[in-house]
Chain A
Amino acid sequence: MDIKTYDPKKPDEMFNDLVSDKIQREIASGVVSQYKAAYEYCYETFEPPEAHDLLPQYRRVCIEGIMPDIAERIGGYTVESRKNKAKNCWHRSIVSGRIRLTQSKVDQQGILPRDAEFRKGYAESNQMLLDFMNEDKNPELNEEAPLYAIITHKSADDDEILPEFVDIVFPDKECNVIVKRIKLLDKFQDIIPEMDQEEIIPESLEIKLERSVKRSSSETA
């Protein structure tokens, strides 16, 4: 069987081939929905100062928590939970074939999340063929190669209820720079839905007299 090769500078092409649009869409949609749901829960349950402080932690749990549900619903990927090196914290990753994804909130679009051992570890073990900076290696990225990507997101500055962006970024082997990025909310523009819009059914409804009745009642008058 032929193995498709990809330009190592374009891991997004491989990602798009191997991770269906349906999965990508569900991931983006899951992040958006958990932003909203977590916001509503925190602010409906706690006073604003506590809600504000709780929200980022709670949202992370929600986003990671919904991934297995989506996996169960649509299939096509599995979810792994692992402890970090210090064994004091868990993280979840989505595994779809040779692709591994983790999620992180970032401070702005186009940057990688803060350093973390587990991310560095994944980048190192998965991006070896993304080492295109070293021309001597003449690397070739193929669909059997592992690939690590990070779902990055951040809330809008003025509105914590929705994310400003949800991206898939591909770090290099050292997890220092972003090689390529897929902007999921640009790709699936209908994901941020008009969720709060109620379908208003008008109350006004005119009941008209039949023409013949109208005529006879006006004649009587």
Chain B
Amino acid sequence: MLREVVARLPNMSVGASNFKQERLTHAREARGITQTSLADMINISCAAISQYEKGQRSPSSDVLKKIANTLNFPMHFFLKDIGTRACRPIFFRSLSSATKAARLSATRRYGWLLDTVGYLREFVTLPEVNFPRFDIPSALTSIDDEIIEDIANRTRKHWGLGFGPISNVTWLLENNGAIVVRQKLEAKTLDAFSNWSMDDTLRPYFILGEEKMSAVRSRFDAAHELGHMILHYHVDENVLRNTSSFKLIEKQAHHFASAFLLPEQTFSKEVLFAPNLEMLVPLKSKWRVSIAAMVKRLRQLRLISREREQRLFINISRRHWRTKEPLDDELEIEKPRVLQKALDVLREKNIINQQSLTINLALNIEDIERTIGMPGYFRNASATTIKFPRIF
């Protein structure tokens, strides 16, 4: 397989005749660079870049080399076929124009993640997908609070959980077949995104932003995305483009996350009447949900009045807890482990290594590591395994 790929590497003397125009667009978007900026960087016209991307012209070998160096991709990235990929809509947290570039970049990286997992799947069996499928009303507006509470409870039941705090949401998702990756998303408002990939069996993917360095907020993000995967399985791309529908599905996913992490049956019994913020701190350690999210849940369950909710939020702001809450430094961020375990096995058996991955995926190793959320995995490992010659 390695030889085949190497054989496809460009022969510079005959030019880049196998150039795949979409690859240039993808590479540029992944790096968050506009056509104009790229043109400036390699000193050619913007029109030329546009023509390359439209397939009206192919870049010369020299230009392609410059593009590859500037965008930091191996040359053969631009020559590799892009297969067609069936995907259900990606659930992004923000559709604002400010995050458009970050969304595009994340989408491209997500494509690489699917390529990487697809490659690993040739060698290892990933956990079977065991996500519940419920009869959800097809009209978004019909998915009311009662349905969401019920679906959240039934999701727990489907996975054999009671109503206690969940020790590790990431592992729960992974044990049931999801691929979870924590990576840099370049925009704070993106937080996380999720998608049902149709690459092999229908498999849910959860991409959690690395920027949010709080264990509880990241768990909530994962549960929020789980809400999308379960409640909005049937939703198509057009619905997501509609602002009011988008807001509604975000609200529903948020409600699902609260109900899933803090079930009414048990959480409501934990809370004193008229709770104050001090009382919620030990509960944060137990349920691993932020104090702000608990206040919202208390109101959702009508355990506190609107006025008390407002008072609690005023106090949260006064104490500057909106940016950092108590215990945020102490609670450990959940780490995905499926991809790491798969790579560990394959490396241990000498089935894959850094070189085979970079060649087959047509990406540099930093990009691969970042895509799978394991920065330094290969580079640090190879650094530690360097054997020095014996001098005696």
Contacts and interface: CB of A to CB of B under 8 A. Distances in A.
A116 interface: no
A33 B268 contact: yes
Nearest to B174: A205
B332 to A, nearest CB: 13
A196 interface: yes
B349 to A, nearest CB: 6
B351 interface: yes
B172 to A, nearest CB: 5
Interface stretch (B10-18, B66-74, B156-164, B187-195): B156-164
Nearest to B160: A199
B301 interface: yes
A199 B338 contact: no
A103 to B, nearest CB: 13
B270 A199 contact: no
A78 to B, nearest CB: 15
B117 interface: no
Contacts of A193: 163, 265-266, 269
Interface in B259-274: 265-266, 268-274
Contact of A40 (B164, B175, B282): B282
Nearest to B301: A73
A197 B337 contact: no
Contacts of A29: 268-269
B127 interface: yes
B342 interface: yes
B302 A69 contact: yes
Interface stretch (B30-38, B118-126, B146-154): B118-126
B268 A209 contact: no
Contact of A207 (B126, B167, B274, B305): B126
A199 B165 contact: yes
Q: Classify the interface of chain B: helix, strand, loop or mixed.
A: loop
A213 B120 CA distance: 11
A33 B126 contact: no
B125 A207 contact: yes
Contacts of A66: 272-273
Given A37-B270, A62-B272, A213-B123, A205 B162 contact: no
A36 B270 contact: yes
Interface in B333-386: 337-338, 341-342, 345, 349, 351
A195 B165 CA distance: 9
Given A72-B302, A194-B164, A207 B273 contact: no
Give the most central of B122, B174, B272, B349: most A CB within 10 Å: B272
B19 to A, nearest CB: 33
Contact of B127 (A62, A195, A205, A213): A205
A195 B286 CA distance: 11
Contact of B349 (A194, A197, A199, A209): A209
A203 interface: yes
Contact of A209 (B161, B166, B175, B345): B345
B351 A201 contact: no
Interface string B21-63: 0000000000000000000000000000000000000000000
Interface of A: 29, 32-34, 36-38, 40-41, 44-45, 62, 65-66, 69, 72-73, 193-203, 205, 207-210, 213, 217
Interface of B: 122-127, 156, 161-169, 171-172, 174-175, 265-266, 268-274, 278-279, 282, 301-305, 337-338, 341-342, 345, 349, 351
The 6 closest A-B pairs by CB, nearest first: A33-B269, A73-B302, A65-B273, A66-B273, A37-B272, A201-B171
21 contacts: A33-B268, A33-B269, A33-B271, A36-B269, A36-B270, A40-B282, A65-B273, A66-B272, A66-B273, A73-B302, A193-B163, A194-B162, A200-B167, A201-B166, A205-B127, A205-B171, A207-B338, A208-B125, A209-B125, A213-B122, A217-B349
Given A193-B265, A207-B125, 12 more contacts: A44-B282, A65-B272, A73-B301, A195-B269, A196-B164, A199-B162, A199-B164, A207-B338, A209-B125, A209-B345, A213-B123, A217-B349
